[in-house]
Amino acid sequence: MRLSWFRTGGSVHIPPPAILAVLYAALIVGGAGLLKLPLSTPAPVTWSEAIFTATSAVTVTGLVVIDTGSQLTIFGQAVVMVLIQLGGLGLMTFAVLVLSILGLPLNMSHRIFLREDLNQTSIDDLLVLVRRILKVVLASELLGVVLLSIVFVPEFGWVHGLWQAVFHTVSAFNNAGFSLFPDSLSQWVGNPLVNLVVPALFIFGGLGFVVVTELHSSRNWRGFSLHTKLMLVGTLALIIWSVLAFAALEWTNPRTLGGLDSIGARLWASWFQGVTTRTAGFNTIDIAGIHDSTAMMFMSLMVIGGGSTSTAGGIKVTTFIVLLLATVAFFKRRTQLHAFGRSLGPDEVMKVLALAMVSMLVVFLSIFLITLSHDGDFLDLAFEVTSAFGTVGLSRGATAELDGLGRAVIIAVMFIGRVGPLTLGFFLATRSQPRVSYPSRTVYLG
């Protein structure tokens, strides 16, 4: 894969991923400006709170320093919802849709930006993919609104209940985790409809648009691409592991599952919290009450995240699988990676190794920086950073305690977690032939 560079005047060249990162930053600044308007909040919010909230929405994270339901008006909540939708599906996807509606042509630079935004390797059939994405989004969110209205409308009335359904549907499908309730969805910990609809939305959104469009068009296992097969198998395995592990670790914890009054509620909570951890950030139990062992498991799942070209964050499920395959291949002395009758080349292995290394450095450096000005529980701070990097949004209560430096670190980590892979993908995809060859030597490893 080869990326194009764009001249901005003189001899300055800017790669498409960098321009996309600037566009996301501009969206954050614009969103923060809207949240500062008197129309958005009953009481004024600081610029720090506005920028943090806008960043969390655009990066579809869900970490909050103000209560979305009580400290924002309907207009402010709508701003957050639009930022979630734009940030989750990608700015260029919406731009292309607008151009298509207006009947304007899509030039080569637009196609290259769109390719980077959708994490594709080719500019062919991008318009077809965008139209399929639009159909999937509209169908999924419309169905989600209808089903959640069954729960919210009888309880809050038509107007308020319908708004609750719309907001939480958009937040769930885009894996944002924003809720209009201070305890997220804990009020419906045993409600079957909420426990089925909300996870279905964020699991579907977290699979990735390529996978979803293949499921819609092919519906045949043999016709699926290797990426889709790896995503489906990997997602299923991680869901089974996370649900069972959470139930085993928290079943008797009086602050979480042990505090629920029925086995049914415990099972629903285990299911919901197990599947939401990698991507969405909703919760139906108190995250601050989980055991340290559960917190460590959650952190590993948040780093893995969801699927490529999806609304989820993390290093991605396929990256994690390729890392496992590379490890197995090394110990078995294999020179190639094999999965479902297909092989993966060294370029894919080098890419995931670089991505994993950069991710580790970002997380470790951020934890170090945030502990410089905070004397709180180390695990809570590490959990906060990991949640920000995976754009998950779960918190053990440290968000509200962050000072200026802490908020700046979390804002930066959320931004890197959302747009960092774009810039990283550029560097990984750029090739240069060395002019000088050197003799090989052995380095002792391990």
The SS3 call for residue 208 is coil
pLDDT at 223 over 90: no
Average pLDDT, the chain: 83
Are 256 and 184 contacting, i.e. CB atoms less than 8 angstroms apart? Answer: no
Structure-block tokens of residue 428: 């990984």
In this predicted structure, which of 25-29, 122-126, 243-247, 280-284 has the lowest mean pLDDT? 122-126
Q: How far from chain centre, in Å, is Cα 161?
A: 26
Of 96, 102, 104, 98, residue with least CA distance to 126: 96
The gap between the terminal CA atoms of the chain, to the nearest Å, is: 32
Q: Residues 277-336: pLDDT tens digits?
A: 988 889 999 999 999 999 999 999 999 988 877 777 788 898 899 999 988 888 888 877
The phi-psi region of residue 409 (left if phi > 0; otherwise alpha if psi is between -120 and 50; otherwise beta) is alpha
Are 246 and 276 contacting, i.e. CB atoms less than 8 angstroms apart? Answer: no
Instruction: Provide mean pLDDT across the span 387-416.
Output: 91
Structure-block tokens of residue 174: 């885009």
Q: Can you give the pLDDT at residue 1? A: 40
Rounded-to-integer distance, Cα 366 and Cα 409, Å: 6
pLDDT at 344 over 50: yes
In this predicted structure, which of 97-111, 186-200, 250-264 has the lowest mean pLDDT? 97-111
Q: Can you give the pLDDT at residue 103? A: 53
Between 11 and 90, name the one with better pLDDT. 90
Q: Can you give the pLDDT at residue 314? A: 85
Instruction: Provide mean pLDDT across the span 13-23.
Output: 66
pLDDT at 411 over 70: yes
Q: Residues 33-46: pLDDT tens digits?
A: 999 999 999 999 99
pLDDT at 346 over 90: no
The structure's pTM equals 0.86
User: Percentage of residues in the chain with pLDDT exceeding 70?
Assistant: 81
Element at 337 (helix H, strand E): strand 337-339
Q: Residues 145-184: pLDDT tens digits?
A: 999 999 999 999 999 999 999 999 999 999 898 999 999 9
